[in-house]
Chains A and B, each alone.
Chain A
Amino acid sequence: MNVLTRGVKNAIRSPLKSGAIVLMFAISIALILSMLVARGSVLSKIEEVKATAGTAVTIQPAGVMGNMGGGDPLTAAQIATITDTANVTSINSTLTDQLGTDDTNLTSSLELGSFGQRQQRFESSDTATTSTEAETSRPAPTPRTSVTGTTDVNSIATDGGDLTISSGEAFDGTSSDNVALVGSDLATKNSLTVGSTFTAYSETITVKGIYTTGNAFQDSGIIMPISTLQTLTDQAGAVSSVTATINSSDNVASTVTALKASLGDDADITSEAESAATSVESLQGIASLTTAGVIAAAAAGALIIVLSMFLVVRERRREIGVIKAIGGSNGKVIGQFIIEGLTITIIGAVIGLVLGVLVSGPMTTSLVSSSANSTSTTETAAGPGQGGRGMGMGSPGAAFNQGAAQLNTNLTQVTASLTPQIFAAAVGITLLIALLGSAIPAWLTARIRPAEVLRTE
């Protein structure tokens, strides 16, 4: 029998006591691992959500949303300012307009409905009549066809990817030809195919392709090169919305600040990344909670081991004194107690890590689902306000809603994942506790003098 076997044997000399210590320690280790897994999963999801939010920043004239509101379009000088802003890698400009029955020979594929009628109730060709007369003299409202001028047709896609062109091909965004992509619903309504022509702004426009997005509003519209629309509507250089791409998600916030400073009150600036930052606040709260949980569980584990070993050493002062009296060196006695402490710690750690692997998944799900519920409630409450803006084709509001919905979906899909790094961190913390739990008895046993113990004889 040597120090090792004596230490191991001592660790199990009182199965009930050792079992209780091991169980308490195992629970704290399981908590540490679960908290680390939850923290790792949440942090990873936060990064994923931020990455999904992208680096796009939308700049619109102040007070304008799609075709609603009022104000002046962005000027060429403002576009140049945006382009020259640090970290802006590219921009995509759009100009939106609506074609009435006087502007085009196309029939809108959208039914006006009560909602559309309400939107157009103020419009009248006779502004001099009294209100009562106006009610009777206004022409019956008719649905309009939305037209978007853009440098990048893919900006119309509602899924954040490339625009699906079911027939024909996309046009060159920088051209000024009288060409257009026509939404599938509008094309069906007017029997348009690739190569067909229609009239808009008294000009003949050739259909270059038919696109489909799955969105009834978008599929009832027309897309043109922005230069073409600017010319046709006599708005040279005018832009109703700019989407700027930032070189890194880390620079989005600073770039938004810079743009707000340079454009002042003339523009409204929004970014998905900022929205994402708000959305992930609840997850960041969980991450902080789990960090605190790791610290608390580690402290509890360390306290359990240290106090237990303290009591063990105190209880066996006489035995330690006797061992020293019969020639046991400090090294041998300390070694024996370190082995004893390590045995209890290792058994507890193994049980705790297995337990942690089993409970970390449900614990993460439980923590995140309660947070996701509160996030969903927030998004639902914000919904109607944002939906009301989506009148203009290519409205950033529509794309923004889509992005927000995607963010919300992402938030609810936090999956607990035990990575080797997290497992290594848990083992590392356990080892630290084990060392602490061994150092304390070592220090205590070294201080015990055999004469003091045997003096009680």
Chain B
Amino acid sequence: MLTIEHVSKTFNTPGGQVQALKDVSLSVNTGEFVSIIGKSGSGKSTLLSILGALDNPSTGSIVVDDTRINTLSGAKQTQYRAKKIGFVFQQYNLVPNLTALENVMLALEFGGYPATSRFDRATQLLESVGIEEDQRQRRPTRLSGGQQQRVSIARALANQPAYILADEPTGNLDSATGKKIFDLLHDLSRSQKTTIIVVTHDLEIAGKTDKTFILKDGKITTK
């Protein structure tokens, strides 16, 4: 279970202080498929960064499976990201000079997966997200947007994380491909009981999730 209590986040910018999140509280049950919607600049990505321990809140706490992650050391937060979290980004963010297979194997390495079985595990993951054999040895630049996002999902699933945090996963894809990616995430949620939190501004996608939170000017409301 994931619980956020009274989380605020303030950034110092050249133009002064900007409060991206204001006293945000919410909870997500294990295995739920949750969406967070809101306009650009509403604080969606900031909230996702805090949930993934990429950033720490200015105030408040984030408890994930009884562990308060915002007070963990940098090294522990890295471990938390490697083992409990899988990230899916709007820009895919695959490492450009590594092949699709190597990108997935990289996540397995960080998760402490044995070196001897990384290849088989990565191959199986890519197969499960629909990446063909000839596409696995390609670098990201030689894959379509949809294929890159599939590789990105395979990478996120590498260490069997309890949570997948997806930031606009279909934002750069056409509607048909976006639907396929959403269905893939949805199936994962159902088949592997993985908790999935998707940040999106696509109301159609949000409508298909178990729970939707709306962020507006840094404050959250449950739909």
Given contacts A1-B106, A454-B49, contact A325 B81 (CB under 8 A): yes
Given A1-B106, A451-B55, A454-B45, does the pair A323, B79 have CB atoms closer than 8 Å?
Answer: no
Given the known A-B contacts A318-B93, A327-B79, A327-B83, are A455 and B45 also in contact in the complex, defined by CB atoms under 8 Å?
Answer: yes
CB–CB A326/B49 < 8 A:
no
- With contacts A13-B97, A455-B45, A457-B89 taken as known, whether A326 is within 8 angstroms of B102 at the C-beta atoms is no
For A14, the closest partner residue in chain B by CB is B97
Kindly list chain A residues whose C-beta atoms are within 8 Å of the C-beta of B167.
454, 457
Interface-forming stretch among B27-35, B107-115, B208-216? B107-115
Query: Which A residues touch B105, using CB under 8 A?
Result: 1
Name which of A37-45, A287-295, A328-336 contacts chain B.
A328-336
Q: A322-B95, A330-B74 are in contact. Are A454 and B89 (CB under 8 A)?
A: yes
B:98-136 near A, CB below 8 Å: 98, 102, 105-107, 109-111, 115
Complex interface: chain A residues within 8 A of B54 (CB): 325, 449-451, 454
| Contact (Cβ within 8 A) A328 B110 | yes
Q: Mark B137-172, 1 if CB is under 8 A from A, else 0.
A: 000000000000000000110010000000110000
In the complex, A437→B106 CA distance in Å?
A: 25
Nearest Cβ on chain A to B9's Cβ, whole angstroms = 10
A324, closest chain B residue (CB): B78
Q: How far is the CB of A188 from chain B (nearest CB, A)?
A: 90
Q: Is the CB of B97 within 8 A of A326?
A: no
Q: Give A1-55 interface residues, CB cut-off 8 Å to B.
A: 1-2, 6, 9-10, 13
- Set of chain B residues within 8 Å of A10, measured between Cβ atoms: 97
Whether A103 sits at the interface, judged by CB under 8 Å, is: no
Check if B45 sits within 8 Å of A326, measured CB to CB.
no
The secondary structure that dominates the A interface is helix
Closest B residue to A323 by CB, please name it: B95
B52 adjacent to chain A (CB < 8 Å): yes
> In the complex, what residue of chain A is closest to B75 when comparing beta carbons?
A329
Query: Which A-chain residue is minimally distant from B112 (CB atoms)?
Result: A327
Across the two chains, which residue of chain B brings its CB closest to A13? B97
Can you report 30 residue pairs joining A to B where beta carbons are below 8 Å apart?
A1-B98, A1-B105, A1-B106, A1-B109, A2-B109, A6-B106, A10-B97, A319-B96, A322-B95, A323-B95, A325-B52, A325-B81, A325-B93, A326-B81, A326-B82, A326-B87, A326-B110, A327-B79, A327-B82, A327-B110, A328-B106, A329-B75, A332-B110, A449-B55, A451-B49, A451-B54, A454-B89, A457-B45, A457-B91, A457-B168
Which 4 residue pairs of A and B lie closest in terms of their CB atoms, listed nearest first? A327-B82, A327-B110, A451-B55, A451-B54
